[in-house]
Amino acid sequence: MRFFVEIIAERLHGELQGDPKRIIEGVAPIEKAGEKDISFLADPKFLEAAKNSRAACILAPDTAKKELESFKNCVIYVKNPRYAFMLLLREAEKAMRPIHPVGIDDKAAVSPAAIIGHRAHVGPCCTVEAGAEIGPGAIIEAGCYIGHNVKIGARTRLYPGVKIMNSCSVGEDCILFPGVVIGSDGFGYVFNNGVHEKIPQIGRVIIGNKVEIGANTCIDRAAMETTRIGDGTKIDNLVHIAHNVQIGKGCIILAHSTIAGSVVLEDYVTLSGQSCVADHVRIGAGATLMGKSGVMSDVKPGALLCGFFAKPRAEAFKIEVLKGKLPEMYKELKKMKKIIEKLCPEEAAALEKTTDIGQKPALPARPPEKPPVPLKTETENIETKPSVYSPENK
């Protein structure tokens, strides 16, 4: 990376303060930037650090002109410094990223019936099956598998070891990181005669445009229809998405999240790390699940949930606070019990008969025993009626 400051200002549509011919060769945090680095100021609490920075140039908000007018080096004023810095990082990434040669590597196995687009790259040890289509400018890095009738959109990048199974589709400008598996079978079985019989999974997966999928994430194909990921959705590492899930546009799904079968995520839903969603649940647009939340029923649009089972955040936080106070509450309860014993002995005695906190329930009182039935003597057990053979009956 090597740019004149004036070129950067022009590309970012910013207002330049300082030497337009200053050369930028790197990017760095504001407190660590050197004399050839560019950095950014997005949070006012770092204003003093910016004033004392050694950075060759700082991207700053338009509102900071007065505070930075005496800065010794260059400043580019923009509306959103964080976004501008992100655009600059893209340019740095291009400079650092290895340039892949156009065409098919000699060590790749590509079917004659596959279509490879203009200026696409297929790396070594890749397999591309019959009927597959690789879009223009797509990059398929080493060791990827592209199944039968798969479609890969223009400029999409598959890092090493990605597997796209038969009949699945990936849109344009997507990024799939190492180990991603798209189109593995959904987990479906029928129990019959003591055996789990596999249900064939003959659906597919369709991934929209500008989707990013993190390393070792798995997205299962539907049993009959389509598992769908909407445009602009970003999925972190180690996420599992089951069969027939429908994910809207612009969703954020963080690491270790698990989404069970036939779940619907409407647009712009956020699942924080280790979130779990039970099957056939619908999560409304703009809803957020905080870390380790577990959802068993539908969620309203815009809701902010926390905990397992997930509750509205304010309610969940209150419950957690109360849990921490339970030992103290128990001590106070015991004090109250002693006071009652002194003031109201009879009520205290009645209280003793009930279940005490922290102790086993009192056993129910035994019913009063009946007085024993006196046993008959041997003579009392002899029949006293006269016998038919008695002389009295003659």
Which residue intervals of the chain are DSSP H helices? 5-11, 47-51, 65-68, 81-96, 313-343, 345-353
Q: Which residue is it, tokens 């036939």? A: 262
Q: How many whole angstroms separate alpha carbon 172 and alpha carbon 170?
A: 7
| Confidence category of residue 384, pLDDT binned at 50, 70, 90 | very low
Find out whether the peptide bond into 308 is cis, omega within 30 degrees of 0.
no
Catalytic residue among 13, 100, 240, 243, which? 243
Query: Right CATH number for 103-313 from 3.40.50.1370, 3.40.50.300, 1.10.1740.10, 2.160.10.10?
Result: 2.160.10.10
Is the pLDDT at 229 greater than 50, yes or no?
Answer: yes
Residues 77/98, Cβ–Cβ less than 8 Å: no
Q: Residue 143 above 50 pLDDT? A: yes
Overall fold of domain 3-96: 3.40.1390
Q: β-strand 57-61 against 3-4: which pairing, if any?
A: unpaired
**From 214-223, 289-298, 334-343, the region with the lowest mean pLDDT:** 334-343
Average model confidence (pLDDT) across the chain:
88
Instruction: Give which of 256, 268, 214 is closest to 236, Cα–Cα.
Output: 214
What is the domain partition of the chain in residue ranges? Answer: 3-96, 103-313
Considering only residues 289 and 98, tell me which one the structure prediction assigns the higher pLDDT: 289
Q: 364 pLDDT exceeds 70?
A: no
Residue partners of 177: CB distance under 8 A and separation at least 6: 159, 162, 212, 213, 214, 215, 237
pLDDT at residue number 353: 65
pLDDT band at 62 (very low <50, low <70, confident <90, very high): very high
Q: Is 243 a catalytic residue?
A: yes
Give the model's pLDDT for residue 93: 85
Query: Residues 6 or more apart from 121 whose CB is under 8 A from it?
Result: 100, 101, 102, 103, 138, 139, 140, 141
